[in-house]
Structure formats: structure tokens, C-alpha cells
């Protein structure tokens, strides 16, 4: 199938939505809402050059991030909760989103990166094709939470240059406890396998900037090093140790979980090192790591630039 056929198929799915493993079977084109509460429209918060992604994505000019509303996961600790748990924002047509993508390229961003695309995928891919027809050459980054259906990912073949999935939970019970996402590990692994089939398990760079490939992200949660280790074990067993991993230490409790028995604190240096050491022990050698410090990185989407500290 060509891109247009795949986009038509994706748009058709909105009438009986099975875009993600939740398989809500609602007709979003008639205003029925599923778990993500999104209509059959693109709902955006903001688009900006983001300098806080992994170095090959941010480069010197920034990643072209497009922050979308809602999410098919709804993690209770989400660092972007102001937008990921909301459906109130700008409503865009595919044509308008294509213009947003072209504008990010004009601003010298190294890529265009919708966050989180899963529930918006049909119209995003339509926008991408429109933008390509009008001169978009920057790589397209699919930055998702990992709770994906591999059959949907198959329909993106040939349109996505860089996949940026999370692999949040190796332990299924953690996926249920924190994201109400049954069978998270299986869905994440199957979709990552399909992503790798399309773009390979490496990362192609030009002048240090990613052009094609995959980076798998994992946010280390407090008290859950066993979950992180299980993620690494599963990746080694079912995927590859060549893959680029981004092990993130920036977890910061949002107000909603400040009294949660597990999630109320940041991670310790020791916890983070247990995970990074384990990755090295298993043979992963392409690993992005972060400092563990007291600096709170939670973005504030009430600001014009959510990553500007406002100081």
C-alpha cells in the first residue's frame, strides 16, 4: 500500500477507533469519545524548538516539537500532565498542522516531532504528506508512549524517519498500577519490533543530528528499579543491545502524586546508577544518560515557552 492508501485506512479507523491497544471501538467522527477523550481532530497546545531532547534530536537549533493534547496512556505521574490530561487547546485541520510543521522547519528545527501522536495519528500523517508536498524535508519523529498497536505502526511504514518510543514498564503490574495499561510490555515490544523493521535498530546521524533510526526511552521511577531492570532484560532478549537507549533520571512528582506512597519522591543517585550499571552489564553500549540532581525539569504549559524557567 502507498502512503495515501495507508492514510485513508487510518482515517477510516477513526470511525471505529482501534488506534491503540485500548480499542475503544467508538466512532470519533460522530463525536463519540473513547479513553483518550479526543474527537477526530488535531488538538494542539503549542509548537516550539525544544532544546531538552537527546543531543541528536535537539542538535544546535532544537527539535521541532509539537505538543498535542491528551494521551492514550494517562500515567498518573505524567510530567506533561497539564496537556496530556487535557483536551482543551487549539483545534487544527491537517492543512494547519502541515503549516506548523513547515514553520518549524523554517525556524531551522532539525526535525518535526509531535508529542504524543498515537490518538491523533491519522490526521498527523495526512498533515505530514501535505507538508512533504510543500517542501518539508526535516525528518519526522514519532514520539510515543510505547502503548501502541503494531498493526497501526505497520501503516506508518515509509512515512516515519525516527521512532522515539517509551518503554515504560517491564513489569505488567506497574503498567496497570500507574497507567491503567494492561499488557503494556507485550504491546510495547511488538510495536518496537515493527518500528525496527522499518527504520533499523541503529541511529543514522548527519553532523551529529539524527536522520533515521530509533531511540528507546525509559524514565526511571522511584522505588521501581526492578521494573527498569525488567525493561532492559526484555529489550536484550527480544530486541537488541545495539539499540540506542535513553535512560532518564528526571522524574519529578507532580502535585497529584505528592502523597503517593511510591511516586511522592524523586529517584536517588543510587537507584539511577543501579539501572545504568545494569544496562552496561547486559551489553547495551549506546546509552544516553542524565545527571541526577535536585533540578526540577517539569515543564509548565501555562507559560508561552513551557521549558523557559521564567526567571
- Decide: is 26 part of the binding site for ligand SF4 (CB under 6 A): yes
- When binding is defined by CB under 6 A, the residue of 10, 36, 235, 279 that contacts ligand SF4 is 36
Choosing from 10, 17, 66, 292, the residue that interacts with ligand SF4 (CB under 6 A) is 17
Indicate whether 119 belongs to the interface with ligand SF4 (CB under 6 A): yes
Per-position DSSP letters for 172-215, written without gaps between them = HHHHHHHH--TTHHHHHHHHHHHHHHHH-SSEEEETTEEEEEEE
Return the number of the residue (6 or 105) whose C-beta is nearest ligand SF4: 6
Q: What is the Cα–Cα distance from 258 to 264, expressed in whole angstroms?
A: 4
Dist. CA 311–CA 254, nearest whole Å: 20
Nearer to ligand SF4, 23 or 264 (CB): 23
Question: Does the footprint of ligand SF4 cover residue 34 (CB under 6 A)?
Answer: yes
Query: With contacts defined by CB under 6 A, how many residues of the chain interact with ligand SF4?
Result: 14
Alpha-carbon distances of 199 from 58, 128, 163, 229, rounded to whole Å: 20, 18, 8, 25
Residue 306: CB minimum distance to ligand SF4, A: 24
Q: How far are the Cα atoms of 68, 109, 127, 150, 173 from residue 136, in angstroms, in the given order?
A: 20, 11, 11, 26, 42
Q: Counting contacts by CB under 6 A, is residue 78 touching ligand SF4?
A: no
Q: Is 18 in the site for ligand SF4 (CB under 6 A)?
A: yes
Q: How far is the CB of 76 from ligand SF4 (least distance, A)?
A: 16
Our finding on whether 20 is near ligand SF4 (CB under 6 A) is yes
Does residue 71 touch ligand SF4 according to CB under 6 A? no
Shortest Cβ 282–ligand SF4 spacing (Å)? 32
The residue at minimum Cβ distance from ligand SF4 is 34
Cα–Cα nearest to 81, from 292, 298, 283? 298
- Give 82 or 119: the residue with its C-beta nearer to ligand SF4: 119
Q: How far is CA 152 from CA 7, 117, 119, 196, 227, in A?
A: 11, 12, 11, 14, 26
Contacting positions for ligand SF4 (CB under 6 A): 17-20, 22-24, 26, 34-36, 38, 72, 119
Amino acid at each position: 500500500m502507498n502512503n495515501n492508501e495507508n492514510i485513508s485506512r487510518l482515517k477510516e479507523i477513526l470511525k471505529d477507533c482501534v488506534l491503540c491497544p485500548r480499542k475503544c471501538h467508538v466512532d470519533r467522527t460522530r463525536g463519540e469519545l473513547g479513553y483518550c477523550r479526543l474527537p477526530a481532530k488535531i488538538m494542539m497546545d503549542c509548537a516550539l524548538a525544544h532544546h531538552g531532547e537527546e543531543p541528536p534530536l535537539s542538535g544546535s537549533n532544537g527539535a521541532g516539537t509539537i505538543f498535542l493534547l491528551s494521551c492514550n496512556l494517562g500515567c498518573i505521574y505524567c510530567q506533561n500532565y497539564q496537556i496530556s490530561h487535557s483536551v482543551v487547546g487549539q483545534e487544527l485541520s491537517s492543512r494547519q498542522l502541515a503549516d506548523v510543521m513547515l514553520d518549524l522547519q523554517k525556524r531551522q528545527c532539525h526535525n518535526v516531532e509531535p508529542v504524543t501522536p498515537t490518538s491523533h495519528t491519522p490526521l498527523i500523517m495526512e498533515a505530514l504528506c501535505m507538508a512533504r508536498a510543500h517542501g518539508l524535508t526535516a525528518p519526522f519523529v514519532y514520539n510515543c508512549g510505547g502503548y501502541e498497536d503494531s498493526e497501526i505502526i505497520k501503516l506508518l511504514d515509509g512515512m516515519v524517519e525516527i521512532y522515539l518510543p517509551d518503554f515504560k514498564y517491564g513489569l505488567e503490574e506497574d503498567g496497570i498500577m500507574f497507567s491503567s495499561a494492561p499488557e503494556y510490555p507485550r504491546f510495547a515490544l511488538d510495536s518496537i519490533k515493527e518500528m525496527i523493521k522499518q527504520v533499523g535498530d541503529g541511529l543514522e546521524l548527519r553532523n551529529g543530528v539524527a536522520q533515521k533510526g530509533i531511540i528507546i526511552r525509559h524514565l526511571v521511577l522511584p522505588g521501581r528499579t526492578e521494573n527498569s531492570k525488567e525493561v532492559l532484560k526484555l529489550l536484550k532478549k527480544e530486541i537488541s543491545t545495539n539499540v540506542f537507549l535513553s535512560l532518564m533520571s528526571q522524574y519529578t512528582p507532580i502535585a497529584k502524586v505528592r502523597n503517593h506512597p511510591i511516586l511522592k519522591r524523586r529517584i536517588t543517585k543510587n537507584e539511577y546508577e543501579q539501572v545504568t550499571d545494569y544496562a552496561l552489564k547486559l551489553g547495551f553500549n549506546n546509552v544516553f544518560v542524565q545527571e541526577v540532581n535536585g533540578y526540577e525539569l517539569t515543564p509548565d504549559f501555562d507559560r508561552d515557552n513551557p521549558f523557559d524557567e521564567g526567571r
